[in-house]
Amino acid sequence: MKKLLNVLLIVGFGLALSSCVYAQDAKMSPIEFNNYCAEITSELYEKGKAWGTHFAETSDSKNFSSLKPFREAVTKLTKSKIAEFEKLKGEYEPNTLVVAMLDFLKFEHNLVTTTFEPFEKFDAKTSDETIQNAVNNLIAAAEEEGNFLTKLNAAQKEFAQKHGFQIQETEGEGEVIEEE
Question: Is the residue at 136 inside a domain?
Answer: yes
Question: Is the residue at 168 inside a domain?
Answer: yes
Question: Is the residue at 23 inside a domain?
Answer: no
Verify cis geometry, omega within 30 degrees of 0, for the bond prior to 69.
no
Question: Is the residue at 172 inside a domain?
Answer: yes
Question: Is the residue at 135 inside a domain?
Answer: yes
Task: Note down the domain range covering 132.
Answer: 2-18+28-179
Give the count of domains, the chain: 1
Percent of the chain with pLDDT over 70: 76
Determine the Cα–Cα distance for residues 81 and 54; give it in Å rounded to an integer. Answer: 24
Question: Is the residue at 170 inside a domain?
Answer: yes
pTM: 0.78
Residue 77 has pLDDT above 70, yes or no: yes
**Which of the pair, 168 or 64, is modelled with greater confidence?**
64
